[in-house]
Structure 1
């Protein structure tokens, strides 16, 4: 793999991290968000510092031959720890238990990193190796132990992640389960990376040359594993966000008929503002719900409970279920009230009323159900027919 094969995923991780930084600043105390940012940072650093051009540059800048070796191995250990911590926080549970497990993983891999540095300091690597240090120094005292230690750490993390993901996947469904299975696939490649490296090192111990497994195959496996795992981590979060946005817009559209009915009596300045196209789904839904509640509140003096009772009785007599019958009665009363308000342009009844009760005498209803009744033209017509309010009753 050439330098660009490392730098492209490193740049992708950096871009994703930059996208998350504003959220991290606003919610620094969120352990899940911190874990996500730590994972992105460690992944980007691993790819950047593992690139052969970067390895050569770091060695020259530090003046220490093969200084990049313990640096990259330490970053790999940090990446392994960040993956485990992210999964622990993602799964959730009692806060104290989550913090305790996270600290154990961090402490364990912290000791692991210290041992890597100590073993490198005790060993001797006079010849710079940009791509094959693992096999070249496979028989060198202390360096040999450092190589086995870092590969063990990577392998343990991969196997643990697969075990935890599988156990969690058996308990969940939907996009979360799909994401966990994709993460497992990614860490299967990471485990294969460790196996390829180990095989090449063991072959050196046996006097054989399987260096291609370490030099050519292992980096490809690591890259695939990291990218697949990243998809697994992101997929459930993105899909959940899209699903939430879809449900919000669906609720917004479903409230449309009721909002348009009440828009007939809305003040001109409110009608002029309308919904801004760049508004978020949450803000648009909140504005529509607020408009509806304000409209229902302003209609309170015009609500005719006899209209409500007649429409409810008619719906029940037609065999409609209680919740739907109640919605039809509410819709009939709203249509009647809107007509009454339109027939009272000076708002005489409104000005004479000092009540500040809820929108309907029966309490707040399911606005979506009421809106659905208004959307169905025949039902709405029937309801408004029952709801027709003689003009004389308005005055």
Structure 2
């Protein structure tokens, strides 16, 4: 499993490193937070590259030192756990204050790494093991090395999770807040790796076989890393998701308004500033959607204004009665009545029979003035215009007659 999960994590880490490191080529963006972020991904890439069994075996053979690859992995993991905290500090505090707090952590990291070097040298493994920690968990000096390494890493992960969660509360940008919370999840997930390594020691001394749960090591390490990568990069690519979501929402809204707009355009062609050549051409128009949506709302209002001489108050009263009988209330009721009035007015205009009734008010009957609210209202009107039996009955009725009482929402 390590042969699969660790290379995947290595590739993901190096790709992210290269993507972020490109920002270092632009002097205006060369800031400490970006430098530390790149260091984080470089360390992750190195950790999972060397953790791949074939690579670690090759490194030991090249250097001529047994288990040196495992030692490099452990040192890099501890350094990474401190580098993540440094990055969080640069994200949260002014550069001067962040540097001061990072120096304090470096004063802790130095002795930690020195202790790991000392314990590893004292352990004195003269032959290479496929899994140094697992195969030597019963040796006292290796046990001391392992426990020191795991406890150091666990403390660093807990501190990272705590910092990420606390800073998320203070983050002003939504995607930064979400990224920090994901980083918390990644750190907590990685604690499972520490728990497995402690279980190796306990299981060995208890006479159990730690190899039975060794598959959990790549699962916890890989899952925690991938979640952390997402969390650390989310502030950069998350806003693009928001932009994509807005585009999809505007595209969908734009085309949900089409049936109502098209009916009004056929009756009053002058409302369209740039009419599409066809329905297909309209669907293929994907640029400047915000402007196009705004124009569509305005043109629907212009069409409604042009139909005012053909509005019949009796149609509105009858449509409201039938809609209530169908169980409609609130905004859906108002949208259905408005759609019925438009459908009846379009038919009356086509028949050339003005109602000579007082002109319908031009204002939005819901009293909205914001574009988003009015767009949502018109979407409901357009949906009722296309689907409602009450509206269909109003469109079929002869001008000057009432909508039949049998018209009900199906």
Q: TM-score, normalised by structure 2?
A: 0.55
Distance 1:19 1:235 in 2: 13
1:9 aligns with 2:3: no
Corresponding position of 1:109 = 109
Moved over 4 A (4+): 241-247
Corresponding position of 2:343 = none
Tell me the matched-pair count: 246
Corresponding position of 1:208 = 208
Distance 1:167 1:50, change over 3 A: same
Corresponding position of 1:380 = none
SS of residue matched to 1:196: helix
Q: For 1:335-390, what per-residue CA distance to the aligned partner results, in whole angstroms no more than 9, with x for missing partners?
A: xxxxxxxxxxxxxxxxxxxxxxxxxxxxxxxxxxxxx9xxxxxxxxxxxxxxxxxx
Corresponding position of 1:357 = none
Contact 1:179 1:233 in 2 (8 A): yes
Report matched runs for 1:1-395 at 5 Å.
Answer: 1-27=1-27, 29-91=30-92, 93-131=93-131, 133-172=132-171, 174-213=174-213, 215-240=214-239
Distance 1:11 1:155 in 2: 25
Distance 2:64 2:203 in 1: 31
Distance 1:245 1:218, change over 3 A: closer
Tell me by how many angstroms 1:239 deviates.
2.2
Contact 2:188 2:224 in 1 (8 A): yes
Tell me by how many angstroms 1:242 deviates.
6.4
Distance 1:13 1:46 in 2: 10
Stretches of structure 1 lacking an aligned partner (at least 5 in a row):
248-280, 282-371, 373-395
Distance 2:23 2:40 in 1: 15
Tell me by how many angstroms 1:144 deviates.
1.9
Distance 2:180 2:203 in 1: 34
Contact 1:193 1:221 in 2 (8 A): yes
Distance 1:70 1:56, change over 3 A: same
Distance 1:172 1:99 in 2: 20
Contact 1:134 1:201 in 2 (8 A): no
Q: TM-score, normalised by structure 1?
A: 0.57
Stretches of structure 2 lacking an aligned partner (at least 5 in a row):
247-287, 289-370, 372-410
